[in-house]
């Protein structure tokens, strides 16, 4: 069991002391009322103050998508969901069946990304008020879909794909700090933004990157342009969002009054 999954279940146990019942879908965020007990957990979490009350936000991992469980008196019920499937064809087989050289490169880059995603900063606290990185883009593939590449099962699609014309500006959905950029085998021109307290977002396949690691960025500031670099079938943005190392559904963050909706879900069951 990885650390992110362990932390999730630690919070499930903690939630037992906070409310009678909660439910959620894999890839979504749940709120629980925060108090001193949180200090006993092994990991730092995003805590939000709303109307003089503290709430802890945590993510339900996709790996729970085939389960519906009850925890100590029906505390949190993970709802089963069929996310559908996505089938794509990649004609360049060197991007599918990797040579040893490419496989070694992809592994090293995956470790770079993992280290960046595992970072945790407190320079600023996110307010969960995200805007779309491509306001006029078209969603071409949603979070959670089972993926088949050339009819072969692959890892699920735990991101949001937004299609747009080559060169379309990409905007930061929220303020943060750039912590990684580069040209990667799978992701092409790639950038990661740390939004603080375990909330991190990444942007793949860009034609251009406008920023460097260490740069601070404001909400709606241009960070790059849509492209088709890396392993792709056409120009689009592959947008991933992490909360405490767990990939969550970016599309949910774009809902109006998203944070208030999460908190209301908590209030409805206490």
E strands, the chain, are 22-24, 29-33, 46-50, 53-59, 76-78, 85-88, 138-141, 145-149, 152-157, 160-163, 169-171, 176-184, 188-196, 199-206, 208-209, 216-217, 222-225, 236-243, 246-248
Closest to 230 (Cα-Cα) out of 201, 211, 191, 204: 204
Cα gap 149→233, rounded to integer Å: 11
pLDDT for 16 equals 47
Query: Residue 116: which H helix or E strand, with range?
Result: helix 100-117
Hey, how many other C-beta atoms are within 10 angstroms of the C-beta on 228?
15
Give ∠ CA 145-81-245 in degrees, rounded to 5: 65
Residue with tokens 């389960």: 67
Q: Are 154 and 195 in contact (CB under 8 A)?
A: no
Residue owning tokens 């890892």: 155
pTM of the predicted protein model:
0.86
Q: What are the tokens at 65?
A: 């998508």
pLDDT tens across the length of the chain (270 residues): 565 555 554 555 444 444 445 778 899 998 887 654 444 444 577 888 888 888 888 888 888 755 555 433 346 778 888 889 989 888 888 888 899 999 999 999 999 999 999 988 988 899 899 999 999 999 999 999 998 999 888 889 999 999 999 999 999 999 999 999 999 999 999 999 999 999 999 999 999 999 999 999 999 999 999 999 999 989 999 999 999 999 999 999 999 999 988 888 766 655
Distance CA 184, CA 169 (A): 20
Full set of structural domains in the chain with CATH:
3-82+255-267 (no CATH), 85-253 (2.70.70.10)
Owner of token pair 């008020």: 129
Cβ-based burial of 209 (10 A; exposed 0-12, middle 13-18, buried ≥19): buried
């Amino acid at each position: 069991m990885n650390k992110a999954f362990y932390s999730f279940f630690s919070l499930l146990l903690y939630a037992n002391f906070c409310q009678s019942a909660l439910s959620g879908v894999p890839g979504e965020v749940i709120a629980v009322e925060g108090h001193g007990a949180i200090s006993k957990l092994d990991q730092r979490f995003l805590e939000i103050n709303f109307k003089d009350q503290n709430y802890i936000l945590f993510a339900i991992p996709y790996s729970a998508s085939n389960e519906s469980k009850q925890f100590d008196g029906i505390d949190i019920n993970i709802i089963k969901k069929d996310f559908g499937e996505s089938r794509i064809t990649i004609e360049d087989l060197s991007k599918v069946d990797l040579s040893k050289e490419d496989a070694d490169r992809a592994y090293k880059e995956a470790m770079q990304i993992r280290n960046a995603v595992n970072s945790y900063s407190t320079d600023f606290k996110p307010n969960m008020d995200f805007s779309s990185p491509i306001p006029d883009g078209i969603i071409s593939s949603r979070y959670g879909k089972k993926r088949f590449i050339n009819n072969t099962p692959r890892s699920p699609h735990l991101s949001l794909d937004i299609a747009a014309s080559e060169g379309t500006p990409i905007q930061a959905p929220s303020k943060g700090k750039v912590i990684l950029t580069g040209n990667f085998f799978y992701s092409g021109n790639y950038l990661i933004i740390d939004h603080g307290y375990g909330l991190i977002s990444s942007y793949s396949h860009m034609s251009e990157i406008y920023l460097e690691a260490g740069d601070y960025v404001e909400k709606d500031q241009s960070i790059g342009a849509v492209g088709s670099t890396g392993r792709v079938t056409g120009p689009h943005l592959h947008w991933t969002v992490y909360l405490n190392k767990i990939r969550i559904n970016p599309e949910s963050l774009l809902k109006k009054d998203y944070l208030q909706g999460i908190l209301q879900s908590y209030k409805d069951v206490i």
